[in-house]
Amino acid sequence: MSNNSFTPHIRIYTHSNKNQLVNYYYGCSDPLQYPLLFPYGQNGWHCGIPKIVQPRIKLRKRAYYETEQLPSVSNMCSIDGLLDMEADVLQKGKRKRNNVSCREYYCYKLQMRDNEENGVLHSGRLFQQYSVDEFIKVETQRLDFASFNQDLFRIDVLQGLLDILRLGEREASKIGKQNFLPTSFTGGPRDMRQRYMDAIALVQHFGKPDIFLTIKCNPSWLEIKEHLLPTDETQNRPNLISRVFRAKVEEMKTDILKRSIFGKVASFVYSLEFQKPGLPHAHFLVILTDDYKLLTPEAYDKFVCAKLPDPDTYSYLHKLVVKHMMHGPCGHLNPTNLCMKRNECKFKYPKSFVDETTKGKNSYPIYRRRNTGKSVKVRKQFLDNSWVVPYTTPICYVNTIAI
């Protein structure tokens, strides 16, 4: 590998002490890196792979970015404002490609097809490493584009000391030519800042959120199990897990917006995250309209509950809650559980028994958890209502909290 640990390049050393750098955009990079996956030396992605279907409409190339369309420092009050306007110009000037991009190529390679056997998808833990390396390759290409095309962002106007001082920059380390990532770069600092400000603006306009949802990927979902080969393990199929979870998130959005399981929605935001074991989860913040606001303990009980359902009346719901919505066990029942921090559960389980739901003081509501004396066996321990994770009946596999 290259001496630079931040680049996906390969350096080959010969017996004559000569070396050759193989960049990530060379077609031979993949077979050199993964000889077990490509035993016949099949080329990976490289520049110039033509698309079978050529786009009909061709826009002008760099002539599109005319000087008069780009803002100058003299009429901007901040660097962020300058880059925002230039990112809009670049977004409008996108042209269709005649060649296959790095992202498109590996999306095609990772696709599951009924009439084609893809040994890469069933290569076990090696597929995890392959997926990570190809993701890094795609990100590197995007970063290279931003670095090599800084002239499109008019970065030259920021080189002068007078321009820096005019913009109010006083840190010496930031004076000089720098590489800036536009807001179109997903996951970049300016993209994350813009998403954060958009979310804050929604709260300022519509009020505080009413519902907080957390949906976690379950490797035992039927949609995942039915697409695994007998030799496959769930953690070795990140492509399958991501696609199924994305479909679940889209279904959740349909439940919230179209089926209105909580009432009419004024606005909502959500974020997708990946846990260390590789399983994704999503957090939703839902803001309801004024007619459906959750303002009283009775309104909380209408949507959220934290109790074991009656197994005789609601047998199916009881089965789902026991399977998906029981925390732990932890504490003295299982001191080595992942939630244990300094001999205490970081989620404060088991909860205290209370007869009625009440509003929390600067906290989430305290849900009704009555001591009925009933318990169920979960992971070799008997647990009662104090271990139930709050849920809502229509989507009982999702952690639901009223705010």
| Distance separating alpha carbons of residues 154 and 177, to the nearest angstrom | 11
Listed by start position, the domains of the chain span: 9-53+95-153, 191-402
| Distance separating alpha carbons of residues 289 and 294, to the nearest angstrom | 10
The predicted structure's pLDDT at residue 168: 63
* Bridge partner residues of 267 (DSSP): 287
| Distance separating alpha carbons of residues 181 and 191, to the nearest angstrom | 9
Write down the pTM of the prediction.
0.76
Q: How far is CA 322 from the centre of its chain?
A: 28
The predicted structure's pLDDT at residue 23: 86
The predicted structure's pLDDT at residue 70: 43
**Are 183 and 197 spatial neighbours (Cβ–Cβ below 8 Å)?**
no
Question: Which tokens sit at 310?
Answer: 């009656």
The predicted structure's pLDDT at residue 71: 43
Please list, in sequence order, all residues whose beta carbon lies within 8 angstroms of the beta carbon of residue 177, skipping any fewer than 6 positions away. 155, 156, 158, 159
Run of H or E including 127: helix 125-148
pLDDT means over runs of 10, the chain (403 residues): 60 85 87 91 88 61 44 44 54 68 90 83 91 90 84 56 57 63 84 92 92 91 89 89 93 92 93 85 94 89 90 91 91 90 91 90 86 91 93 84 82
| Distance separating alpha carbons of residues 191 and 184, to the nearest angstrom | 7
The predicted structure's pLDDT at residue 201: 94
| Distance separating alpha carbons of residues 400 and 295, to the nearest angstrom | 16
Question: Which tokens sit at 221?
Answer: 């979902």
Run of H or E including 140: helix 125-148
Run of H or E including 399: strand 395-402
**Are 41 and 47 spatial neighbours (Cβ–Cβ below 8 Å)?**
no
| Distance separating alpha carbons of residues 349 and 336, to the nearest angstrom | 14
How far apart, in Å, are the Cα atoms of 362 and each of 121, 209, 294, 391? 48, 14, 16, 21
Cis, peptide link before residue 350, omega less than 30° from 0: yes
* Bridge partner residues of 388 (DSSP): 326
| Distance separating alpha carbons of residues 170 and 318, to the nearest angstrom | 62
How far apart, in Å, are the Cα atoms of 282 and each of 203, 218, 354? 19, 12, 29
